[in-house]
Amino acid sequence: HDSSSTTHLFLVPSLTQKSKPIPHSHTQNSMASLSLFSLLSFFSLLTLSSSSTDTTTTISLSPSTKTPYANPWQRLNHLASSSTTRAHHLKHPHNSTSLTKTPLFPHSYGGYSISLSFGTPPQTLSFIMDTGSSLVWFPCTSHYVCTNCNFPTINPANISTFRPKLSSSAKILGCKNPKCGLLFGPDVRSRCPDCDKKSGNCTKTCPAYTIQYGSGSTSGILISETLDFPDKAVNDFGVGCSILSARQPSGIAGFGRGPMSLPSQMGLKKFSYCLVSHRFDDTPESSDLVLVGGSDSGDDKTGGLSYTPFLKNKLTSNSAFQEYYYVSLRKITVGGEHVKIPYSFLVPGTDGNGGTIVDSGTTLTFMERGAFDLVAREFEKQMANYSRAADVENLSGLRPCFDISAEKSVLFPELVFHFKGGGKMALPLADYFTFLSDSVICMTIVTDNVIRPDTSEGPSIILGNYQQQNFYLEYDLKNERLGFRKQICK
């Protein structure tokens, strides 16, 4: 193979300390039932009333760095399992409901968080940034309950919650509020049967929501609040006030394409981030999440970026698919060799199945079995001179894994995603292989165990945040395209 399509790794001690994956929060758990009555009974305790120039905001975006597992196989097995669970959710979702910068922090459960301030006076909370969903919600009231939330660095009793009764701008939304309709879509009519357009005196509260995630779920009611940034305030922001969740270590800031997402409600033209690497120390390292609002004309391309258009899933019957950032992946190469993945896996068909999405809420990239096997076999073929570590594959849930204890240097084939528009995303080695010990290295792309002749429901390839590390990604919402370039994130 061409030397430009391989990475030569010399096995010196410092290289065995490469960034290793950290566990993702998503595992399957059932959500405790929550009636509308029990939700509203909590809110009886509150005192609430019913209810063109560019601007840029920058927020810190960073992962938490503690790892809960002493042994790397257990850690990787958890991470692989949680990524496939998240993928299952994205493929089979339940229908649910100016320049600003903010820090973006990595977390031990595999996600990245930001801090946002809501209310008057502002109350600051942590939110997982999720491009695969569209509701923004926070743990709410002193009665908030989170089941199965015993994460290594999180005590459920100490989860910070928003207190609506301490905010003068908090309002419970009614059935006739447009944001209630945006959350529930056409289903809002059946949920608010006495509040049609002809009803002028409807006083019903917007119904309680239950949102399902790959890791669990959350339930609450929709309220209107002020979203506060240092240089601006966004009034009447629709946000979920959740009082019962399962396996949700914090609130979630939905950055998807739905009308209730943070970008949609803020009217952003674009947002961008560069994810710092997942690590195992406890440093508060972060990078910036940049939100660009305002209005202007022109193409407005950022220098040095390759662009590929966003696609729309044509299956309108599943609203969740409309929230995903589908991209036009044309082919995948391994060591310069074209992996002949059927086109139906790369781009969504008229039935809504197949295709590739970019998702910050998934940790390890997921490929449906029919695509994954082709990629894995190409790596196995080009690395056939190295011994397979089958025992580690069984323990970690990752494959292929190679035992390189007898090698002085290892030649790794380069993994490249080729997109419509000519952009090539050549992954750094640390984005698709990781050391599980000084002598074993494994590919960090996962699949499920179901063998199908063709694509199944939902996206076939999900580009997770582990493979997005040290790439600058720009979601150009105005021009419906994804821009990217490789860079060291800090």
Q: Which of 235-249, 324-338, 452-466 has the lowest mean pLDDT?
A: 452-466
The reply to whether 130 belongs to the active site is: yes
Q: For 354-365, how does the pLDDT look when each residue is reduced to its tens digit (9 = 90+)?
A: 999 999 999 999
Q: Is the pLDDT of residue 453 over 80?
A: no
Q: Residue 356: its pLDDT value, please?
A: 97
Segment 464-479 shows an average pLDDT of: 95
Scanning 128-176, the segments in alpha helix (DSSP H) are none
Residue with more model confidence, 94 or 129? 129
Q: Which residue has the tokens 């229908």?
A: 95
The answer on pLDDT for 31 being more than 50 is no
In this predicted structure, the answer to whether residue 16 has a pLDDT above a threshold of 70 is no
pLDDT tens-digit profile of 197-211? Answer: 666 678 889 999 999
Q: How confident is the model at residue 27 (pLDDT cuts 50, 70, 90)?
A: very low
CB atoms within 10 A of CB 403: 17
pLDDT value of residue 270? 96
Q: Which range among 145-159, 275-289, 474-488 has the greatest average pLDDT? A: 474-488
Checking if the pLDDT of 297 tops 70, the result is: no
Q: Over pLDDT 90: what percentage of the chain?
A: 54
Q: 240 with 137: CB under 8 angstroms?
A: yes
- Mean confidence (pLDDT) of the chain: 82
The pLDDT of residue 143 is above 50: yes
Return d(Cα 233, Cα 109) in angstroms, integer. Answer: 31
Q: What is the pLDDT of residues 214-254, one digit of tens each?
A: 778 999 999 999 999 988 899 999 999 999 999 888 999 99
Q: How far is CA 165 from CA 21, 171, 240, in A?
A: 40, 10, 15
| Domain assignments of the chain as residue spans, ordered by start | 3-486
Region 330-344 average pLDDT:
97
153-160's contacts with Cβ under 8 Å and 24+ in sequence apart are 153/64, 153/66, 153/68, 153/108, 154/249, 159/249, 159/250, 160/125, 160/126, 160/250
Task: Report whether pLDDT(12) > 50.
Answer: no
Using one digit for the tens of pLDDT, what is the confidence trace for 154-205? Answer: 777 889 999 999 999 999 999 989 999 999 988 888 888 878 766 667 888 9
Question: Which pLDDT score is estimated for 91?
Answer: 64
Q: 3-486: which CATH number, 2.40.70.10, 2.60.40.1930, 2.170.190.11, 3.30.450.30?
A: 2.40.70.10
- Three-state secondary structure string covering 227-285: EEECCEEEEEEEEEEEEEEECCCCEEEECCCCCCCHHHHHCCCEEEEECCCCCCCCCCC
| Share of residues in the chain with pLDDT > 70 (%) | 76
Q: Are 308 and 295 in contact (CB under 8 A)?
A: no
Residues with Cβ within 8 Å of residue 119, at least 6 apart in sequence:
162, 164, 166, 167, 169, 170, 225, 226, 228
Catalytic residue chosen out of the listed positions 130, 288, 431, 476: 130
**Which residue from 458, 468, 403 is spatially nearest to 430, judged by alpha carbons?**
468
443/436 Cα distance (integer angstroms): 10
pLDDT at residue 138 above 90? Answer: yes
pLDDT band at 454 (very low <50, low <70, confident <90, very high): low
With bands split at pLDDT 50, 70 and 90, how would you rate the model's confidence at 450? low
What mean pLDDT comes out for the span 470-490?
95
Q: Annotated catalytic residue: which of 228, 288, 359, 476?
A: 359
Q: Are the C-beta atoms of residues 51 and 276 closer than 8 Å to each other?
A: no
Question: Can you read off the two tokens belonging to residue 66?
Answer: 């503690």
pLDDT number for residue 82 = 64
Residue 65: its pLDDT value, please?
A: 39
Least confident of 35-44, 125-134, 311-320, 368-377: 35-44
359 counts as catalytic: yes
Tokens 């989170």 locate to 146
pLDDT of 339 reads: 98
Q: What tokens does 187 get?
A: 């289903």
Per-residue confidence (pLDDT) for residue 66, from 0 to 100: 40
Residues 6 or more apart whose CB falls under 8 angstroms from that of 303 comprise none
pLDDT digits (tens, 9 = 90+) for 63-120: 643 444 455 555 556 556 666 666 666 666 654 435 677 787 776 667 889 999 999 9
Token pair of 62, please?
Answer: 């960073």
